[in-house]
Amino acid sequence: MAALIASGFDKDRMAWAAAVMAPLICVQFVRLLDGGLSQAPAATTATNGSPAVIPPAPEARRLTRAQIAALEFLQSDALRGEVRSPMNHPVVVASPPPSPEPAPASPAIDPVKALTLTAVMGTENQAVASIGHTLRRVGDEVAPGWRVAEINARQRTVQLRHLDGRTLTLQPAP
């Protein structure tokens, strides 16, 4: 027996078993000190042989005039029809009135004039520009026919080149 207890394997096994059983033993010991396995007070009966006395329910409050009016409305035939949610608004699609004559052609807006350079980041070898709040690299198309030809991070400029050879230099607003 001493040889079994002296071995490390059996000591570990005993410690593990004690750690698992300790909470269970403590709970059972407390229950024993508390009076044993008793039932909940609601499940007990009177000890003198008579049935248990159920306490009376608390007296209900009287309804207010607003509550009575609400109950009468709910019981009336007012809600027998279709009830629609106040959050359900039908979508009304209005068709535009027909125009008798075609509208005059609006002048063509140059998309390059609408481009704004907001930021330039990078090194001499690799740079990125934010044109119109979109990150662009060299070679990206920013408008029809316009591509980023060069990004200079030191001077904070971007050079755009059109397919026909025109060039444009963008600088951020001061």
- Tens digit of pLDDT for each residue in 41-74? 555 555 555 666 677 777 778 889 999 888 887 7
- Give the integer Cα–Cα distance in Å for 154 and 173: 16
Contact (Cβ atoms closer than 8 angstroms) between residue 139 and residue 112: no
- Give the integer Cα–Cα distance in Å for 39 and 47: 14
Q: Is the dihedral of CA 72, 75, 80, 85 positive or negative?
A: positive
AA letter at 47? T
Contact (Cβ atoms closer than 8 angstroms) between residue 153 and residue 122: yes
pLDDT at 104: 64
- Give the integer Cα–Cα distance in Å for 114 and 170: 11
Contact (Cβ atoms closer than 8 angstroms) between residue 142 and residue 148: yes
The domain locations on the chain are 2-33, 117-170
- Give the integer Cα–Cα distance in Å for 142 and 160: 8
More confident residue, 150 or 101: 150
The number of helix segments (H) and strand segments (E) in the chain equals 3, 7
- Give the integer Cα–Cα distance in Å for 87 and 69: 24
Looking at the predicted structure, is the pLDDT value of residue 131 above 80? Answer: yes
Give the residue-averaged pLDDT of 113-139: 87
pLDDT at 132: 83
- Model pTM above 0.85: no
